[in-house]
Structure 1
């Protein structure tokens, strides 16, 4: 899909790429696949202003003009959503536009009423496996998920549950915030909880339909047997998402979380002050 640009647009973008745009800082350490050598990084905070980066601003304008010609429903989204798709494709307008148009088609089919009702996901809600409470030091909402409460079942209902959760999380974003952080707790996780098909489906939805929403994922209380499942999922994680994942050793759990989350905002199950709230009740 080629996106035609006028000569003036091409000159503007090229000029700004050479003179004004500074790429996001690369993570100092590469993500390690081995659980024995966990690693993570702090995601940069982006200013809530399209004025802060002239190249992004220009490319948002170009991409919006194109996608609105292809699908009129694109007019309903704000520039920050356009920017998230651009960032997910390293500011490549053509790739980001293809990704975004695919998302619009997916959304019409997956969420025809604009929301997922509780009645559609009653089995997954009954597992009580996702919670929300508090924000980290960057103002990102905190989500806690318990892996040992997930059971393999109807994949279509699970996909709807994932969409329900992501929609709920996004609706609870504080003003000016675009990302959330998640604590994935695997204490008690066993083979009965291993759902590779479900993991891949949820990963695909997160990366393809809600790009640049995850700020950081802490994976805690990791049992050794999780290594097998991890190796089957790891190849499907894109490079940007990999940089946001951190495996946390039990002995460093509280100190690691407190480095990014104030005690007043940390869930009480990890030594903080707030009680967890089921995501359906948020």
Structure 2
């Protein structure tokens, strides 16, 4: 199974790509894209270049959906790497290899049934008002050691995959809601938190739109002070808010998640 990776300096660079759509691209970002001379009409050419390099340099990688010849996946990673062929090949190699070793395609409702029954993480049945699939985590239901770390990781990846499959046409990112009501220090899990954010950076780049920390108790502050520096600019995706705010600003009356209805 994939081991938890440490966050690395590129995270700061990547966070620019992950910034909310309401922000305008920086001049530096525009300059980088211009320097790549990327035009819509030659994007397919770059996709072919990546495919050819992956076939030549990483021939052992699987093919098919989410494989080295998946043009949709290649284009997504090219965009993430600002259309740098070399950078896209490097990141795709790691991501595709990880998917194969982790067994992402083999994950199923049955394979994660035991840990899913805790109700600590799941995909909401409805989209938010911005058309984003919603991944919900009820932190008070998570107890490190209750399940093996790789089981929690499988639940995480299964839910990310499930959320991405719910993306409407034209939408590209998901919303994550972490319900912190009832959170205690025995629910804290630095290793798992690191895995989650690493997964989004290395394997699901630019898929996380925003993270809502709901009704964080005072005892959560020390943990946040430890986690925040590790996340670097990923922390800019985090918004602390109340359950009332989430219900009123992110959902319609008939689509509010059950855990937030009280």
Give the Cα separation in 2 of the matches to 1:157 and 1:185. 21
The TM-score with structure 2 as length reference comes to 0.72
Are 1:73 and 2:73 an aligned pair?
Answer: no
Give the Cα separation in 1 of the matches to 2:175 and 2:125. 11
After superposition, the C-alpha distances for 1:91-137 in whole angstroms (9 at most, x for unaligned) are 4332222111111111111117x222445434421211123131123
* Contact 1:184/1:220, CA 8 A, preserved across alignment: yes
Give the Cα separation in 1 of the matches to 2:127 and 2:144. 30
SS in 2 for 1:187: coil
Query: After the TM superposition, which residues 258-277 of structure 1 pair with which residues of structure 2 at under 5 Å, given as runs?
Result: 258-270=248-260
Which of 220, 227, 240 is the equivalent residue of 1:247? 240
Give the Cα separation in 1 of the matches to 2:162 and 2:22. 23
* Contact 2:120/2:141, CA 8 A, preserved across alignment: yes
Once the 2 structures are TM-superposed, how far is the Cα of residue 66 of structure 1 from its aligned partner?
2.3
Segments of structure 1 that go 5 or more residues without pairing to the other structure are 1-25, 28-40, 46-50, 273-282
SS in 2 for 1:216: strand
Give the Cα separation in 2 of the matches to 1:242 and 1:52. 32
Figure out how many residues of one structure are paired with residues of the other and give that number.
Answer: 225
Once the 2 structures are TM-superposed, how far is the Cα of residue 195 of structure 1 from its aligned partner?
0.8
Once the 2 structures are TM-superposed, how far is the Cα of residue 147 of structure 1 from its aligned partner?
0.7
Which of 147, 151, 170 is the equivalent residue of 2:143? 151
* Contact 2:134/2:163, CA 8 A, preserved across alignment: no
Once the 2 structures are TM-superposed, how far is the Cα of residue 238 of structure 1 from its aligned partner?
5.6
The TM-score with structure 1 as length reference comes to 0.67
Identify the range of structure 1 (157-166 vs 263-272) with the bigger mean alpha-carbon deviation: 263-272
SS in 2 for 1:133: coil
Segments of structure 2 that go 5 or more residues without pairing to the other structure are 1-15, 24-37
Which of 12, 17, 21 is the equivalent residue of 1:43? 21
Are 1:124 and 2:115 an aligned pair?
Answer: yes
Q: In 2 relative to 1, CA 75–226 (structure 1 residues): closer, same or farther, beyond 3 Å?
A: same
Q: In 2 relative to 1, CA 225–236 (structure 1 residues): closer, same or farther, beyond 3 Å?
A: same
Give the Cα separation in 1 of the matches to 2:85 and 2:248. 38
Q: In 2 relative to 1, CA 91–197 (structure 1 residues): closer, same or farther, beyond 3 Å?
A: same
Once the 2 structures are TM-superposed, how far is the Cα of residue 146 of structure 1 from its aligned partner?
0.6
The root-mean-square deviation of aligned C-alpha atoms, in Å, is: 3.2
Give the Cα separation in 2 of the matches to 1:162 and 1:99. 21
Give the Cα separation in 2 of the matches to 1:169 and 1:98. 26
Q: In 2 relative to 1, CA 265–54 (structure 1 residues): closer, same or farther, beyond 3 Å?
A: farther
Give the Cα separation in 1 of the matches to 2:50 and 2:213. 35
* Contact 1:150/1:193, CA 8 A, preserved across alignment: yes
Q: In 2 relative to 1, CA 267–96 (structure 1 residues): closer, same or farther, beyond 3 Å?
A: same
Give the Cα separation in 2 of the matches to 1:109 and 1:256. 37
Corresponding position of 2:101: 109
Give the Cα separation in 1 of the matches to 2:112 and 2:180. 22
Query: After the TM superposition, which residues 168-179 of structure 1 pair with which residues of structure 2 at under 5 Å, given as runs?
Result: 168-179=162-173
